[in-house]
């Protein structure tokens, strides 16, 4: 009998120790997460020997490269800390340390949305040589490098990287090597970055980056959604992994597709990104692809290949890229989803996720040309509306009446409701074209909510954009 009690007591003791251990580990993880989510905490985590890798990402590319840079440095024994640019503050920049900046440019040479507090509070206030930071070289102890990501198709190629570099220089910081500019993920420029980082941080044995792994996916369906709109054909593509093992992803994530170059067998494939319209629970990746043509009438490289050459049953190389910047807000918040054209893809994934989990406070504002031809995912949208999962729907079909009506016009008309939703805590997510939609929507939001409130929404992650 006594033995039984002893055995029971030992078991109880073992269980209590296990609980205590789990609780301590949980407390430690929570403290670390909390610490790294504030600028002061970030500094506390980064002692002087830690190389900080600061990224400003719009669609996840800069964050992805920051992670790969950190992985290779960690493997070479150089401690790193990855931080979003929004957590970099003046005291951190004033320290004697190395910071590698990996920053994208968006729109008309702008910083990514997530970096707007850095640009509006730090860069604007610090000014030039004699800024408000109180010294002519406030960051004189800092050694930095800039990897600027951009797209040469845009006039202000890599502009934010250039501006950041010039500003750091004007504040007395020392560049470790000349800024490297990357056009559309160009691998040669990225290899140069790896070599220069290795040299500057005296890590000759820096392991080469692991190339991202692309899986083989089969096109199982490709359907023209808008016959009759010959100006802007839009296709619904469905893709399934060839090995049958569906990876995990979240609403907001991106499918990066490797596109074969038609010119030469040896040419590096081009990479193009598409917002994922579906969830893993649907068993496939669904995309909306607009067939693009250049002014001379030639089909776009990727959209042409995907919609005219690839046939159901054919395979392609694809990887899913996490796009944290466009992940869902907290479930109990209302969500205002605004988009046009193929932007509905990114919005649909969010609506589906929220409808499935019973988060019904959703408002969709969608714009296209005509209801007859271009009302994509009409069945889903109307089903969610009937079930109460979509509490408000505004459709802006620009060519269904004499006067052109766009999503921004609907938003302006709904200003009172918009303010009320935001007042009650709603987040605003915008997906689709930057020019002609996102910029005009931004303008109306500034007008309706005021610049200060809009800035606060950006800083707190309640205004997010996946625009291209």
Query: Applying CB under 6 A, which residues contact ligand FAD?
Result: 59, 153, 254, 272-275, 288-290, 292, 294, 300-304, 342, 345, 466, 468
Residue number with CB closer to ligand FAD (254 or 428): 254
Q: How far is the CB of 286 from ligand FAD (least distance, A)?
A: 10
Residue number with CB closer to ligand FAD (112 or 172): 112
Residue number with CB closer to ligand FAD (112 or 304): 304
Residue number with CB closer to ligand FAD (138 or 150): 150
Q: What are phi and psi of 50, to 5 degrees?
A: -85, 130
Residue number with CB closer to ligand FAD (273 or 447): 273
Q: How far is the CB of 58 from ligand FAD (least distance, A)?
A: 8
Residue number with CB closer to ligand FAD (86 or 342): 342
Q: How far is the CB of 114 from ligand FAD (least distance, A)?
A: 14
Q: How far is the CB of 453 from ligand FAD (least distance, A)?
A: 26
Distance (Å, whole) CA 52 – CA 365 = 40
Q: How far is the CB of 468 from ligand FAD (least distance, A)?
A: 3
Q: How far is the CB of 285 from ligand FAD (least distance, A)?
A: 11
Q: How far is the CB of 307 from ligand FAD (least distance, A)?
A: 9
Residue number with CB closer to ligand FAD (43 or 58): 58
Residue nearest to ligand FAD (CB): 300
Q: How far is the CB of 425 from ligand FAD (least distance, A)?
A: 27
Residue number with CB closer to ligand FAD (179 or 286): 286
Q: How far is the CB of 371 from ligand FAD (least distance, A)?
A: 20
Number of Cβ atoms within 10 Å of the Cβ of 124? 12
Residue number with CB closer to ligand FAD (304 or 367): 304
């Amino acid at each position: 009998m006594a033995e039984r009690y002893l055995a029971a007591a030992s078991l109880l003791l073992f269980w209590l120790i296990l609980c205590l251990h789990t609780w301590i580990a949980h407390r430690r993880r929570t403290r670390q997460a909390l610490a790294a989510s504030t600028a002061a905490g970030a500094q506390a985590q980064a002692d002087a020997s830690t190389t900080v890798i600061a990224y400003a990402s719009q669609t996840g590319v800069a964050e992805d490269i920051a992670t790969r840079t950190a992985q290779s440095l960690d493997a070479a024994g150089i401690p790193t800390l990855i931080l979003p640019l929004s957590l970099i503050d003046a005291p951190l920049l004033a320290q004697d340390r190395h910071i590698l900046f990996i920053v994208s440019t968006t729109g008309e040479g702008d910083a990514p949305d997530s970096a707007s507090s850095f640009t509006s509070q730090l860069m604007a206030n610090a000014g030039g040589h004699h800024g408000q930071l109180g010294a002519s070289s406030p960051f004189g102890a800092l050694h930095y490098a800039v990897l600027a990501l951009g797209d040469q198709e845009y006039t202000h190629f890599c502009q934010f990287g250039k501006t950041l570099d010039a500003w750091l220089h004007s504040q007395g910081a020392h560049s470790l090597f000349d800024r490297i500019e990357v056009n559309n993920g160009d691998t040669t420029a990225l290899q140069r970055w790896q070599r220069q980082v290795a040299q500057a941080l005296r890590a000759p044995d820096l392991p080469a980056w692991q190339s991202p792994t692309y899986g083989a996916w089969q096109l199982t369906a490709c359907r023209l959604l808008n016959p009759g709109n010959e100006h802007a054909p839009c296709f619904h593509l469905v893709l399934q992994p060839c090995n049958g093992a569906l990876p995990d992803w979240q609403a907001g994530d991106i499918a990066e597709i490797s596109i074969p170059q038609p010119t030469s067998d040896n040419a590096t494939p081009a990479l193009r990104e598409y917002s994922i319209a579906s969830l893993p629970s649907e068993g496939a990746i669904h995309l909306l692809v607009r067939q693009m043509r250049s002014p001379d009438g030639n089909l776009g490289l990727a959209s042409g290949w995907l919609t005219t050459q690839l046939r159901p049953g054919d395979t392609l190389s694809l990887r899913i890229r996490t796009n944290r910047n466009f992940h869902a807000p907290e479930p109990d918040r209302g969500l205002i989803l605004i988009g046009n054209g193929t932007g509905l893809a990114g919005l649909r994934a969010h609506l589906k996720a929220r409808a499935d989990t019973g988060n019904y406070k959703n408002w969709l504002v969608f714009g296209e040309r005509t209801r007859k031809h271009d009302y994509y995912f009409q069945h889903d949208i109307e089903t969610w509306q009937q079930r109460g999962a979509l509490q408000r729907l505004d459709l802006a079909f620009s060519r269904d009446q004499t006067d052109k009506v766009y999503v921004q016009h609907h938003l302006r008309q709904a200003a009172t409701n918009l303010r009320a939703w935001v007042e009650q805590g709603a987040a605003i997510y915008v997906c689709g074209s930057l020019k002609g939609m996102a910029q005009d929507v931004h303008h109306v939001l500034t007008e309706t909510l005021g610049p200060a409130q809009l800035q606060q929404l950006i800083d707190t992650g309640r205004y997010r954009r996946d625009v291209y």
